[in-house]
Amino acid sequence: MNKLLSVMALGLVLSALALPAFAEQAAPPDAQPAAAEAASQGGRSGYIFLGGAFGAGLIILGAAYGIGRIGGAAVESMARQPEVARNIQTAMIISAALIEGVTFFGLIVCLIALFFTG
């Protein structure tokens, strides 16, 4: 499992390093039709939407992984010590709620980046 996470982290770092290659060049002053076309599109390119969708997907995958780990560990610990199952369940619900809160915040940031840039 650590190997998979290492490969995923490496892929994320490499894709983040490649993003400046997609940066737009400034239009020369004599290229008025291209500047007018960019202004009509709001200055947005498809990569902004791709970045927002990629970020939202990573947030959802991270939250699902975290809540899955919490649930699995909680069920395992309840099976080992049934007398403290109520306390474990309470701690699990609070932890899952905190992860959901951070997930919603991250998704809102992605949506703001999508709709209010350009």
Tally of domains within the chain: 1
Q: What average pLDDT does the segment 1-21 reach?
A: 65
In a domain, 1, yes or no: no
In a domain, 33, yes or no: no
Residue 67: phi, psi to the nearest 5? -70, -35
| pLDDT score recorded for residue 33 | 55
Q: What average pLDDT does the segment 31-39 reach?
A: 52
Q: Which of 45, 63, 69, 51 is nearest to 105 (CA)?
A: 63
Q: What average pLDDT does the segment 60-67 reach?
A: 93
In a domain, 30, yes or no: no
Q: Which of 65, 64, 93 is nearest to 85 (CA)?
A: 93
Q: How far apart (Å, rounded) are the C-alpha atoms in residues 2 and 71?
A: 20
User: For residue 32, is pLDDT > 70?
Assistant: no
Span of 27-31, 77-81, 93-97, 100-104 with lowest mean pLDDT: 27-31
Q: Which of 98, 1, 7, 104 is nearest to 56 (CA)?
A: 104
Q: Which of 57, 67, 61 is nearest to 99 (CA)?
A: 67
* pLDDT tens digits for range 78-97: 999 999 999 999 999 999 99
In a domain, 7, yes or no: no
